[in-house]
Amino acid sequence: MSSSSNRSALTRSLHFALFLAGCFWLFAAMRISSLAAQGIADQLDLAVLEPLLQQASLVLLLLVAFAVLDWMVDRHLSLRSANALPRRLTSGQEWLRGAALGWGTLLLAIAPMVITGALHPQFWLAPRSWGLALLALITLAFFTLGLELAFRGYLFVRLIAAIGPVAATILLSLLYALLSAFRPNATWLSISISFLMGVWFSAAYLRTHALWVGWGLHFAWDAAMAVVFGLPIAGYPSYSSLITTTVSGPVWFTGGAYGPEGAALTLVVITASIAMLYRITRGYAWDYTHAPIVAMGYPMTIAPPAAHTAMEAEAAAQPASLVQIATATPANASTVPEIDEHLRAAEED
């Protein structure tokens, strides 16, 4: 028992060490991708591409590094499995379900602002604005994938193996909220909402053991907020191109310059969305998170009693009885007189 406990503790320590190594690489990769994107954009004289280059290079650095860390332990190199992006038939469906939930949740969060007239949009529909909107969508796709890889991918899986899913969810959600505190115009309310959003996205992984639902959820939330409604994403308005929206009213109601992620109603809406997330992922949870049922217990084939076996053996050892087969011609006379007379005449001849 003591030996088994020691091995278990050693395994947990290894997973936690890999988690810490992954965290170190995450912050290094963020710095490397920022410098690389800035250098490439300056060389090409295309500053507009810098955010896209930064997010794409960050995703690439995380995918490769986490796969290498995974290979060092399991000796199996796979970008997909190491980063919780398994290839399976429902991947696209999972992403779309997550996107639908993210879109619907954002609509509910800003609906009271629309009804009360707290949003004041300005439209910019020049051809260049449409190009910038498309660029913003692609950038947000990489941006949200990078966040999911960082907080719900390899690091989350290793931390779950080290301290369990509940503690891992709380710890990484706290880290996610802590980082949000350094964003422009952050408040205590926005930090609390960031923590709840961390739980929201973590639940998407725990229900499916993949990032597809969480990535779709995160992308649709950010894309709808910035590109469709022109609102800031966590204090950053840089993704708005077709529509730029200003707000009026109390900061607790609108989120102010931080955006809807700093509004009180968002707490309520996301809490309800977590419950909805559990409902729409019931099938995935059954297919991908439950351990397969393995037959255990006593054998179902029961041997017959010894007395029955002895009786069968004794019967098989005895010789088979003879069977008498009757002759083809009946021994007794026929009951029809004409036939009897005919038979006697045939015998006399």
pLDDT the model gives residue 77: 75
**Residue 23 corresponds to which amino acid?**
C
Query: Is the model's pLDDT at 210 over the cut of 70?
Result: yes
Q: Cβ atoms within 10 A of the Cβ of 65, count?
A: 19
Half-sphere exposure of 235 (CA within 13 A, CB side): 12
C-beta of residue 177 within 8 angstroms of C-beta of residue 198: yes
For residues 146-171, give the mean pLDDT. 94
Distance between CA 310 and CA 20 in Å, rounded? 68
- Average pLDDT over the chain reads 86
C-beta of residue 102 within 8 angstroms of C-beta of residue 110: no
Which DSSP state fits 290? S
Distance between CA 288 and CA 291 in Å, rounded? 8
Q: What is the pTM of this model?
A: 0.80
Query: Is the model's pLDDT at 237 over the cut of 60?
Result: yes
Give CA separation, 248 vs 78, 188, 224, 234, 255, in Å.
Answer: 49, 20, 20, 17, 10
pLDDT the model gives residue 128: 86
Please report the DSSP string for 171-239 in residue order. Answer: HHHHHHHHHHTTSTT--HHHHHHHHHHHHHHHHHHHHHSSSHHHHHHHHHHHHIIIIIT---BTTB-TT
Query: Is the model's pLDDT at 179 over the cut of 70?
Result: yes
pLDDT tens-place string over residues 99-142: 999 999 999 999 999 999 999 988 888 888 899 999 999 999 99
pLDDT the model gives residue 342: 64
For residues 235-250, give the mean pLDDT. 85
pLDDT tens-place string over residues 322-342: 555 555 555 555 556 666 666
